[in-house]
Amino acid sequence: MTDYKKLRQKIENNKFLISDIFENSESTKRLNNLNWLRHEISYTEPRMLFQIPTKNQQPFLDFNCMRNIGTAYDYIITNPQMTLDEYSVCNIHHMLCTDTYIDGGKFRNTTKILQIYINGNRMYAPDATEIKTKLNDIIFKANNPIGDVLYTAFSTHYDLIALQPFDDFNKRTARLIMNWILIKNGFSPIVFNSPKDKKNYITAITENANDNHKNYNHYMLSVMARTQDNIIKLLKKSRIL
């Protein structure tokens, strides 16, 4: 069995193990797990992934950003079965932009092909006239997965980043939408909370842009398995202090 298949099998096994622990545990373990995930997604992950601004840049990471991510995470946790549509994507982006310099929930209006740079690699996002059509295509595929739902979630994450529907905060929106899809299908969220993720996350996105989908999916699977391992460890140790 290849490492790729082993990772996929481990994730499936962990999914059932986490579910089994939850079914036989008190509410304290559930609460501790949710609090840990919220902290990692809204505090640790941004510190690992976000660009630290220079004096002449708008702040990419401050208290508002972390608070907003926590609010948006609460939203997807408490609304796991809500329909994923254009409104919900814009609503999540709006939450992420509260009290920031970005007008949240509104599509960018650049009327030409947009050049975006990820880790020095140039990518092209479609002009504003194509955003709604392409976003609806992404949403349709997310709501009607063909094959493995994990790869559907990973693909949705990448497609939203490549589309760049908003002026900013596209990657953090894409991560939350991906986690929403995972939660809807009984999986735990993915947390990018390792110092190595700052480089590896961008590298994986760049690999996918260059049609190396296997490396991209392998990285996402490895982070998924790591997150599950952390959750299982937490659940086994969790207790009332």
Instruction: List, for residues 107-131, the tens digit of each pLDDT value.
Output: 998 755 455 555 555 667 888 889 9
End-to-end Cα distance, the chain:
43
What's the pLDDT at 240? 44
For 35-52, how does the pLDDT look when each residue is reduced to its tens digit (9 = 90+)? 899 999 999 999 888 866
Task: Say which DSSP state 80 is in.
Answer: T
Q: Which CATH number fits the domain that encloses residue 213?
A: 1.10.3290.10
Q: Which of 88, 35, 61, 76 minimizes the C-alpha distance to 198? A: 61
Domain total of the chain: 1
Task: Say which DSSP state 40 is in.
Answer: I
- pTM of the model as a whole: 0.90
Task: Domain of residue 139: give its range.
Answer: 3-237
What's the pLDDT at 241? 37
Give the angle 7-9-11 at the CA atoms, nearest 5°: 70
Residue 77 main-chain phi, psi, to 5 deg: -70, -40
Q: Which of 173, 1, 64, 168 minimizes the C-alpha distance to 9? A: 1
Sign of CA dihedral 127, 102, 89, 7: positive
**Residues of the chain where predicted confidence (pLDDT) is lower than 50:** 113, 240-241
